[in-house]
Amino acid sequence: MTTNPTPQIWLYDTTLRDGTQREGLSVSIEDKLRIAKRLDQLGIPFIEGGWPGANPKDVQFFWQQQEDPLKQAEIVAFCSTRRPNTNAADEPMLQDILAAGTRWVTIFGKSWDLHVTTGLKTTLEENLAMIRDTVEFFRAQGRRVIYDAEHWFDGYKHNQDYALQTLEAAFKAGAEWLVLCDTNGGTLPHEVSQIVEAVNSHLSVVSCQEQMTTDNGQLTTPQIGIHTHNDSDMAVANALAAVMAGARMVQGTINGYGERCGNANLCSLIPNLQLKLGYSCIGEHQLNQLTEASRFVSEVVNLAPDEHAPFVGRSAFAHKGGIHVSAVERNPLTYEHIQPEQVGNRRRIVISEQAGLSNVLAKARTFGIELDKQTPQARQILQRLKDLENEGYQFEAAEASFALLMYEALGGRQQFFEIRGFQVHCDLIEEKEASNALATVKVAVSGKNILEAAEGNGPVAALDAALRKALVNFYPQIATFELTDYKVRILDGHTGTAAKTRVLAESGNGYQRWTTVGVSTNILAASYQAVVEGLEYGLLLHSQAEAALKASS
């Protein structure tokens, strides 16, 4: 008995070219090289590196790739067809593509007669010649060609016969892939399905009529790809529709980066194709690196990750409602469509005023605290949580503060230090448009009082510096702690300057990050609470790590 092989989908990543056209996104040559290596590790077969000759950065990128090639991925150079009324062999632009040294080249050409006559300002026949001449030129130079049919779906809907002629021109000239591009992002999935099916049928007839064969005499079958944009929030859906209609290459970007509203998001496409539709895209061991790769690229391009992104977002498998948490604890299938580990993500139990006892018990386990419904402190913790959230606290964004709340309720909150008082003084120097702050803190450690002062460029910075200065001699590890983020929100703005303020302070020690919260009508008091708890939780982590090390030795 034989089994049918799993159908293959060829992934084509254009983060380094199309993705960098996103407004506000800029990458260095080093950034591009790091991303390319990470995509190679993820198992992406084709990585579009850019347009050699368009800018010095892309030229250097392809030079570096020749010096230090990737392990398995094909780096692809991208360019347009030759200009009207010229010869491909005489085009300096195409010589730059050859110099990039890639085995594969992607050429884009016009499919929409409107773009030919108004954009290129040439004839429809000349556009066909431009496509043929450019593909033939690269084929003669030993390059393999992917043809991107720009504005394909709009062109097909406005002039079907001509749009199909452009594909025929590329195919007959030797292009191995014909990629249908929804460049304006306005097509809907049912249209994509119908048009891809029609194109496949048409090209199969053309192939039979032309009797085009490969070097070993086998009949050439046109390979269709899809390239979608997200202007109608349909990029992923359109790409899936195309695959189900016969497309076998999918182009997209990590995290959906791209011009305007972005490109098809490979972080959603890959698991949908592989886990839901049964196609083979990347290895299983690579699929569980997807979340890490998504966040890596976010970090390199200096854009905050989308916490609510499907599959790879921090909230993708977060459960907040008490009924949901109770069900997930019994069977994750009740509220999870896949296992989060399949894409390298993890389940999170969120603590908030909507939490039930199940949330508290599940969250406690993540901190190594075993509680059950009969534990009296469990309900005390839940009630304290709800009371504080009613006052404006937000523990779903400040899990470190919730951990300290639990330890306190259980009588196990370690007191590393005690704040006896603090003062903050600010001077505003108008001529220099700068403010200096001086903070003085009085801290007790093991019964010993310490008085310290420190300056900062603002009151919170000065307070943080003074606390560290007072404590570092007792706890040297504090020198590794860093205040990495600080957010303020006004909770009841209608009261003006008397409004209650919530402060979230994110801290880190180089390999871990944690967030604490403070709430008060005094912004300095709220900041003080968040900063102090941040230091306290960092010391708790260090103490637990030392205890675990001793236990294992």
H/E stretch holding 185 reads none
- Kindly give the parts of the chain with pLDDT less than 50: 1
pTM comes to 0.75
Distances (CA, A) of 547 to 373, 445, 533: 28, 21, 21
Amino acid present at 337: H
Residues 175/143, Cβ–Cβ less than 8 Å: no
Q: What are the structural domains of the chain?
A: 10-282 (3.20.20.70), 318-409 (no CATH), 418-552 (3.30.160.270)
Q: Which residues of 38-71 are buried (b: 16+ CB within 10 A; e: fewer)?
A: bbbbbbbbbbbbbbbbeeeebbebbebbeeeebe
Q: What token pair was written down for 249?
A: 């290459």
Q: What token pair was written down for 421?
A: 């008082």
Q: What token pair was written down for 536?
A: 């306290």
- 83 phi/psi in degrees, rounded to 5: -75, 160
pLDDT at residue number 128: 98
Residues 340/316, Cβ–Cβ less than 8 Å: yes
Residues 423/439, Cβ–Cβ less than 8 Å: yes
Tell me the β-bridge partners of 502: 489, 519
Rounded to 5°, angle at Cα 43 from 38 and 49: 60
Q: How many CA atoms lie within 13 A of 470 on its CB side?
A: 29
For 201-260, write each residue's pLDDT tens digit. Answer: 999 888 777 665 555 555 567 799 999 999 999 999 999 999 999 999 999 999 999 999
Distances (CA, A) of 324 to 230, 268, 465: 31, 24, 42
pLDDT at residue number 1: 46
Residues 316/310, Cβ–Cβ less than 8 Å: yes
